[in-house]
Structure 1
Amino acid sequence: MKNDLLAINELFRKRVGISENEMITFETLDYVLEKAAKSIPFENLCIIANNTYELTKENLLTKIVLRNEGGLCYELNTILNFFLIENGFKADLIRGITFNHQNQCWNRIGRTHVANLVMHNGELYIIDTGFGGNLPLKPVPLNGESVTSENGEFRVKKEESEHGDYIFEMKLKHKDKDWKAGYAFDSKKVVEDMGELNEIQKVILEHEESPFNKKPLINRITDNGNITLTNSSFTEWTDGIVKKEEIDENKFKELSKEHFGLSI
């Protein structure tokens, strides 16, 4: 294989539908993030099948942009990180701990969320394409200012805690009336190597409180909302209207292919 970063740049563009000669600037990142969110599904099928792989540049390239599969945060944001760096951005990966709204507490599996931290004109921004239906679809500054996209409002609040120095917050369109916590992170602790990501994958695969090792979950942003598929239901959010249907295993396979391009 030729230089894998070069391959990622070319093939990531093809995967999400961006012209190979189009200049990627900070001002066009909204476009890149929207394209990625609508093209690459957030999914845990490898975890459910207990068919994980070593996280390397080449393996991520093969899975996401050659086999046209999706992945979880540590896969989706890492492939985006390679793409951003190849296009001249100063981008690091950070680890966050997500908030469990059902139990109203920080998840006990630790800092298993992965997102990008990008420096632009002296300002830091969270760039996240691996947070399921909660994607901001835009860079979110760490200065507390909120950004608005077709998926809702998003901000990063400065708050010192045992989990770091910032909290990513969201107010999803048609779903939330008030701000709610997404994840806390430490802006000063960046991911040093792929070994950390492999540790995260191991926790996601094995931890009894992992939200992703119980049942299959596939999600993708659409032009008018988002769609979520599990082994028992298919849910469509369209302009604030939710439609949910119960399904069986055969229907799950059919919908996986039809809506997400995944062959089960």
Structure 2
Amino acid sequence: MSELNALFRQRIGLSEDETITFASLNHLLEQTATIIPFENLRIIEGKTNDITKDSLMNKILVNKEGGLCYELNSILYFFLVDNGFNVVLTRGVVYNHDAQVYSAAGRTHVTILLTHEDQTYLIDTGFGGNLPLKPVPLSGEPVSSANGQSRIRKTSTEHGDYVFEQKLKYKHTDWKTGYAFDSGMPVTDVSEMNEIQKIIAHDPKSSFNKNPLVTRLTNEGNMTLTDTSFTRWSHGIVTKESIDRARFKELLKEHFGM
């Protein structure tokens, strides 16, 4: 067993002798989403490193930090490869619901496409609190999880040939566009993530270089920490606490282990 395989299992609480099958991916994705946070703290602090397999392993599995989509889905990609899955990384463009347009930052979202028994599925553990928690078939059938419903719609746009859509539990009554992606443009090397990281860290159009953000799913809903507030969703009920810097550090350690 590779070091990455063993460390990933330790991080999310899977035994080394457990065989990862397609049927067990739901549990794997749930464990990953509730343990490894989506966060941009190194971006905010200006302490990013070049993206490599080793640097991702050190950051997420050894130091027990979280990361953004290009980090979280890349480390999951390496884990899935180690466990015999047929997977590729691909890039997408996130839809900005406030402006009703796709993000001007471009193809900065990274997700995973997995092929199993001649069917292709989207897997994503790097979309903040908007995770499907299950493989989502590109054939269009919706899937349901504790986080709501997800589906893939085939379409033809300048941003790709498919769109990921969701109806989040307790939050959406209609399908909402998450992002568009191109199934025919796989990432050929993880070094491509450095281009994405540079855009996210420095481009004024990036939404992740303004303020700290830390979020992860829980068994009851999700929790989100910023420099000014701590918000918790529990069974559809939301509570929000205004915080200062000292409280931010306390909550970061208490709820996110960082």
Alignment-derived partner of residue 111 in structure 2: 115
Quick check: 1:238 aligned with 2:230? no
1:102 to 95, 98, 101: 98
The residue correspondences of 1:180-191 to structure 2 (distance < 5 A) are: 180-191=176-187
Show CA shifts across 1:21-72 (max 9, x none).
0010000000000000001000000000011000011110000000000000
Alignment-derived partner of residue 192 in structure 1: 188
1:151 to 147, 150, 159: 147
Alignment-derived partner of residue 10 in structure 1: 6
Show CA shifts across 1:165-218 (max 9, x none).
000000000000000000000000000112211000000001101010000000
Contact 2:74 2:190 in 1 (8 A): no
Q: Alignment partner of 1:134: what SS?
A: coil
Q: Alignment partner of 1:237: what SS?
A: strand
Deviation at 1:154?
A: 0.1
In structure 1, give the amino acid aligned to 2:240: K
Quick check: 1:128 aligned with 2:124? yes
How big is the alpha-carbon RMSD for the aligned residues of Structure 1 and Structure 2? 0.7
Structure 2 unpaired stretches of 5+: none
In structure 2, give the amino acid aligned to 1:29: L
In structure 1, give the amino acid aligned to 2:187: V
Show CA shifts across 1:207-250 (max 9, x none).
10101000000000000000000000000000000000100000
Distance 1:89 1:234 in 2: 37
Quick check: 1:162 aligned with 2:158? yes
Alignment-derived partner of residue 202 in structure 1: 198
Distance 2:46 2:95 in 1: 25
Distance 2:144 2:154 in 1: 19
Alignment-derived partner of residue 134 in structure 2: 138
Distance 2:132 2:13 in 1: 19
Q: Percent identity at matched positions?
A: 57
Alignment-derived partner of residue 256 in structure 1: 252
In structure 2, give the amino acid aligned to 1:79: I
Alignment-derived partner of residue 18 in structure 2: 22
In structure 1, give the amino acid aligned to 2:131: L
In structure 1, give the amino acid aligned to 2:86: K
Structure 1 unpaired stretches of 5+: none
In structure 2, give the amino acid aligned to 1:47: I
Q: Alignment partner of 2:67: what SS?
A: coil
Q: Alignment partner of 1:154: what SS?
A: strand
Q: Alignment partner of 1:108: what SS?
A: coil
Distance 2:115 2:217 in 1: 26
In structure 1, give the amino acid aligned to 2:117: N
TM-score (norm 2): 0.99
Distance 1:16 1:39 in 2: 6
Displaced runs of 4 or more, over 4 A: none
2:88 to 87, 92, 104: 92
Task: State the number of aligned residues.
Answer: 258
TM-score (norm 1): 0.97
